[in-house]
Each structure stands twice: as C-alpha cells, then as structure tokens.
Amino acid sequence: MKKLTLTTWLLTLSLGNVWAEDPPAPETDTAAGSNTVQADVPRVMPTPQQTRIAGLIARLSENDSHEIETLNADGTDFLGLFRESESGDPQGCLVMLHGDHGHPDWPQVIQPLREALPIHSWCTLSIEVPDIGGRATPVTITTGENDGAAPEENPTLPNEETVFARIDAAAQLIRDKGYSQVAYMGYRSGAAYALRYTAERGTTNQALILIEPRSFSPVSEFELAQNIERLRLPVLDYYFNRTPQDERFARQRQAAANKRTNRQEAYTQIDALPDARYDPTGNKRLVQRVWGFLKQNINQQSQRKELPEFEKELFYKSPLD
C-alpha cells in the first residue's frame, strides 16, 4: 500500500512537470492565415421567398410555362401567373394577392380561384407579394398604448409602396392583354394590401374581394377596417369566425361599411366558417361565392362569340321535296 502511494506520487509529479511547461506558441503566419480564412468564409443568408419562387417556377415550367409572366415595378422583377379566360365572352380579370410567406400559386384559396375562374369567363393574374418579415422576426403586438408618442394619422403596411407598384404593373399588363375590367382579390395579408390599395387609389367601377383579411403592425385591425368607409366599389368580405378576435375585426369592418356615403355599392360580409376546409367541396363553395359576387356586381360584357346558326334542313323537310 505504501509502495502504491509512492508510485502514484511520482506519476503525479511527472505529469505536473509536463503540464507546467508552456505550450508551444503557434507560428505567426499559420495563425494569421487561419484568421484570414475565417474572415473570408462567406456566410449563407437564408432566402426563403426566393427559394419558394424558384421552386414554383421549376414546377410550373414543366407543363404550364405559358402561365409565367415576369413583371417589373420600380426596377425590380417579380413573378406573375396569368390564366386566360377560357370562354369566348371574357368579363374581366382578377388581380390576386397571396398571404404573407406564400406564393402566387398557394394551394389554399389562391390556386382554386385562379384555376377555376377562367372557366367562368374571368382571367386571373396572381402576383408575387414580398414577405413582411422573416420567420425568426419577433412579432410586434399592437396594444393601442403608444407610451406618450403621437400616433400616425395614416399608418401604412410594411412594403406597402412596393406592393402598390406591383398592383399597378399587374393592372397595366391586364389592360395590355385587352381586358377592360379589373377586379382585386387578397388573401390574409394580401387582403390588407388590396383594401389599402383600392381605398388610397379611389378605385371605382370595379370590385374588391377580401378573403380572411389580416392586418400587421403598425396598422391595427381597427385602423385597417376604417379604410372600408372610403371605398367606392362593391366589396365581398369573406371571413372565418373562428375566434373572438375574428368576430371583433368583422364587426369593425361592417361598422365602417355602414358609414359609407356611397351606399349604393354592395358590401357583402359572409361568415364562411362552414366552407373553411381545404378540399374539393370547400374550394367549390369558395369559387361559387366569388364568381357569383363578380357576376352580380360588375357590368357583364356582351358576348363576343356569335350564336350558332339554326339550320332548318336538319329538322324540317319541305312537303314539296
């Protein structure tokens, strides 16, 4: 036992001498080179929107490349998906704005409408809307308290100027393709942009369709709803009453509509919660609601195609024959 203790002590002393030695200093050139390499390594920044759009273009390029349009607003290119009316008597065209972190062929709401409405004499142009913020961006909660700061008289949505310029470019493309009537539709944050656009532009003689509208800071839901009072065109407000917040926001929009001086233009609010399912049945109801609203509230164009001639000889034989 005594011998083991001595051996252990000697081993400890030996290791202690090794640890006490100063470690060899790295060569200056190697260290500098290492630091240089680290500084020169490019950092890969995630670009989720560009990735979504690139994937969408790759998918559509296989069979539907004719739908892809490259538009430009303020010097920046963006994607549009155009579908021609599939009838001989086109009634107009619908500009479609998807929700935040979506794309112009989003499977919920956007895709069913943009594919089905052309069958009912409406062309569709679904455009790319920039993301409001990254997925890791902290959410700003609007409480109504401003800590003494004066509130903005007319707050704007994030990217509002960019989105307005894109809507202008989309409307111009539609006119260039020969369509005289333009309607606007937005889904969630896209509905907020469409509402703000038509209110700010004083749009008339057209139509606005809001699907499950959502607002974003610095524009509160109440402030967004007040834009409805300024509208001068028919509006379909199609929402899903899932929460008390949804119900409160819907009441605010209806109250603003009730204060409009231009009451002859329709404002139709529908709690479509029973239709809020993303399957063929829910999509069919959505298409019927939107198409029916457009048909009832926009001047229908006269038919361009001639009616087939009635050939009597197919059904009538003269007694002289």
The amino acid present at 244, given as its one-letter code, is P
CB 235 within 8 A of CB 250: no
CB 191 within 8 A of CB 212: yes
CATH architecture of structural domain 48-132+154-297: 3-Layer(aba) Sandwich (3.40)
- Give mean pLDDT, residues 227-231: 95
pLDDT, position 265: 84
Domains of the chain, by residue range, sit at 48-132+154-297
pLDDT in tens, 77-92: 999 999 999 988 889 9
pLDDT in tens, 38-75: 556 666 566 788 899 999 999 999 999 999 999 999 99
pTM: 0.76
Q: Please compute the mean of the pLDDT values over residues 2-7 and round it to a whole number.
A: 46
Cα separation, 264 vs 256, in Å, equals 15
pLDDT at 315 over 60: no
Sheet with 267-271, side-by-side order of all strands = 68-73, 76-83, 122-127, 92-97, 182-187, 207-211, 235-239, 267-271
**Is the model's pLDDT at 17 over the cut of 50?**
no
Q: Output the pLDDT for position 39.
A: 57
86-121: pLDDT as tens digits: 988 889 999 999 999 999 999 999 999 999 999 999
Q: How far is CA 63 from CA 59, 67, 111, in A?
A: 8, 9, 16
pLDDT greater than 90 at residue 166: yes
Distance CA(21)–CA(122), nearest Å, equals 83
CA angle 184/128/194 to nearest 5° reads 25
Q: Which residue has the higher pLDDT, 146 or 223?
A: 223
SS (H, E, C) the chain: CHHHHHHHHHHHHHHHHHHHCCCCCCCHHHHHHHHHHHHHCCCCCCCHHHHHHHHHHHHHHHHCHHHEEEEEECCEEEEEEEECCCCCCCCEEEEEECCCCCCCCCCCCHHHHHHHHHHHCEEEEEECCCCCCCCCCCCCCCCCCCCCCCCCCCCCCCCHHHHHHHHHHHHHHHHHCCCCCEEEEEECHHHHHHHHHHHHHCCECCEEEEECCCCCCCCCHHHHHHHHHHCECCEEEEECCCCHHHHHHHHHHHHHHHCCCCCCCCEEEEECHHHCCCCHHHHHHHHHHHHHHHHHHCCCCCCCCCCCCCCHHHCCCCCCC
pLDDT of residue 89: 84
Query: How many CB atoms neighbour CB 216 within 10 A?
Result: 21
Q: Which amino acid is residue 117, in one-letter code?
A: L
Of residues 78, 72, 84, 74, the one with CA closest to residue 97:
78
CA distance 106 to 115: 11
CB neighbour burial string for 70-109, b if at least 16 within 10 angstroms, e if fewer: ebebeeeebbbbbbebeeeebbbbbbbbbbbbbbbbbebb
> Taking 80 as the threshold, does the pLDDT of residue 237 lie above it?
yes
State yes or no: pLDDT of 132 exceeds 80.
yes
Which class for 309: exposed (0-12), middle (13-18), buried (19 or more C-beta within 10 A)?
exposed
